[in-house]
Structure 1
């Protein structure tokens, strides 16, 4: 019992990760900080719903409907929906109305809802129809490329595409990587050194803010209040 989560990466540059989950006997989780926005579908007691979830700047508790199934597409950094500005969505949810098992309306058009296996085809159509766009500067800089623009322009484009500053994205990535290492049993001092924290108190503050757990609690999973999807960031920029 608990929150069973399965996820996979994607070769499509617009997608960070595809995931699905099922809740069983759990009413609340800790939603860890995440710089990505998501398109999420869920079914509970025969009712199908969908929403756009904005980036999560800090960890926070979140209710989980019992005996529900979820499916989500986490979009890559730099990917956005021009008709739905990302700024107001940071830490927020925009529910999509009138969703059924066979239909979801996006920007005025009816679509068949995606699933875990055809998420890429769904997003390719979103790109073709101009619902999703991508600023190539954001992933390029995160991968270590020289920006080729002023720092002011870079920050402006980061905010427009992600809703977050470059520094905030780096801090979230670093905390997530540290949390995964601790879950894998890596000693705290080694995590401090490997991920680039100043010292153990610096790590502790970061974990509390972005993961909602101490290092000790990460080493002993909490079935009563599980974590949301947590994995190592795909970009190397964590320092």
Structure 2
């Protein structure tokens, strides 16, 4: 009952995470902010659909179709589909037409619809055929490497590749990490100390904006309005 979500890491540098879920007797969820764009497929009442979902700069309530199955590939920061610029997808999505259980059309070619177990093979083909590309500057900046270009160029390329500023990515990641820690039983005051918040009100504002929950509500999950996929982001050097 509710929204059952399963996810896993990926060995591909182009992929942040692979996930699948199923809804049962739930009409809405709290969609947690995420800096990543996703390719999502879902089936509801025999109809299969797909869309490219852009990054989410803040948490928001989203409808959930009843008895639907979802599968998604969350792409690494800096990765993009050049024909669908991620900078124009923040807080929105781009539907993919002509999808069936067997095939999906991408840039004029029919592809087998991927699933949870073969997502990497699908992405490898996307990379080979130039449907997915990556700006190497973005992971370098996130790892703390200073590129040999001006700060203005770094900012421009980072936003073009991710749709968000480095500061926004850092804040979203920190809030998601804080939410997971609180769900695991870490006291709010300790989270403040460990993650570098100024104080508990600062943590509270961050959680409300990016996760849509207070620390108290995170400690007591709401089955009528579950959270979307929530996991600890991979460690990054603060920007």
> TM exceeds 0.5?
yes
Cα deviation 1:33-56 (Å, max 9, x = unaligned): 000000000000100000000000
Q: Check conservation: 2:16, 2:76, Cα contact below 8 A.
A: yes
Which segments of 5 or more consecutive residues in structure 1 lack a partner in the other structure? none
1:22 equivalent in structure 2: 22
Q: Check conservation: 1:54, 1:92, Cα contact below 8 A.
A: yes
2:69 equivalent in structure 1: 69
Q: Secondary structure at the match of 1:17?
A: strand
2:150 equivalent in structure 1: 150
1:206 equivalent in structure 2: 206
1:176 equivalenced with 2:176 (yes/no): yes
Q: Aligned ranges for residues 72-221 of structure 1 at < 5 Å?
A: 72-221=72-221
Which segments of 5 or more consecutive residues in structure 2 lack a partner in the other structure? none
CA distance in 1, matches of 2:91, 2:115: 25
1:47 to 1:163, Cα distance in 2 relative to 1, 3 A: same
Quick check: 147-156 or 187-196, which moved more? 147-156
CA distance in 2, matches of 1:100, 1:55: 25
Q: Check conservation: 2:48, 2:101, Cα contact below 8 A.
A: yes
How many residue pairs were aligned?
A: 239
1:52 equivalenced with 2:52 (yes/no): yes
2:40 equivalent in structure 1: 40
CA distance in 1, matches of 2:147, 2:30: 35
CA distance in 2, matches of 1:67, 1:118: 23
Q: Check conservation: 2:29, 2:61, Cα contact below 8 A.
A: yes
Cα deviation 1:188-228 (Å, max 9, x = unaligned): 11000101101111101100100000000001111110000
Q: Secondary structure at the match of 1:152?
A: helix
Q: Check conservation: 2:33, 2:210, Cα contact below 8 A.
A: yes
Q: Check conservation: 2:78, 2:139, Cα contact below 8 A.
A: yes
Q: Secondary structure at the match of 1:221?
A: coil
Normalized against structure 1, the TM-score is what? 0.98
Quick check: 103-112 or 11-20, which moved more? 103-112
Query: 1:87: Cα distance to partner?
Result: 1.6
CA distance in 1, matches of 2:190, 2:168: 23
Quick check: 136-145 or 99-108, which moved more? 136-145
1:139 to 1:235, Cα distance in 2 relative to 1, 3 A: farther
Normalized against structure 2, the TM-score is what? 0.98
2:223 equivalent in structure 1: 223
CA distance in 2, matches of 1:8, 1:206: 26
Q: Secondary structure at the match of 2:33?
A: coil
